[in-house]
Amino acid sequence: MRVPDYLDEWLSASYPIQQKDRETLLPGLQWLEDESQRRFAKDFSTLSDEQKRAIADDICCRRRKAGI
């Protein structure tokens, strides 16, 4: 199973915990798409590994600065 298939299955499940996860994951995935478009004018899935890593590294740095 590929990651998109897994996420689709997980987020479409009707169990309460998956529905709660959906409230967090969908906006997060949308943020990745928006950030990818803003930085590189490309869909996140088409970015190079280096471009994906740049976004991920910035997420990690922000969390560290916030003390999370």
Write out pLDDT tens, residues 3-51.
Answer: 888 888 888 888 888 888 888 888 999 999 999 999 999 999 999 999 9
Cα distances (Å, whole numbers) of residue 30 to 15, 23, 25, 33, 67: 22, 12, 8, 5, 24
- 43 contacts 29 by C-beta, under 8 angstroms: no
The model carries a pTM of 0.71
| Nearest CA-CA partner of 22 in 37, 34, 12 | 12
Q: Which domain holds residue 51?
A: 3-66
Domain count of the chain? 1
CA gap 23, 25 in Å, rounded? 6
**Which amino acid belongs to residue 66?**
A
**Which amino acid belongs to residue 10?**
W
Q: Which residue has the higher pLDDT, 68 or 29?
A: 29
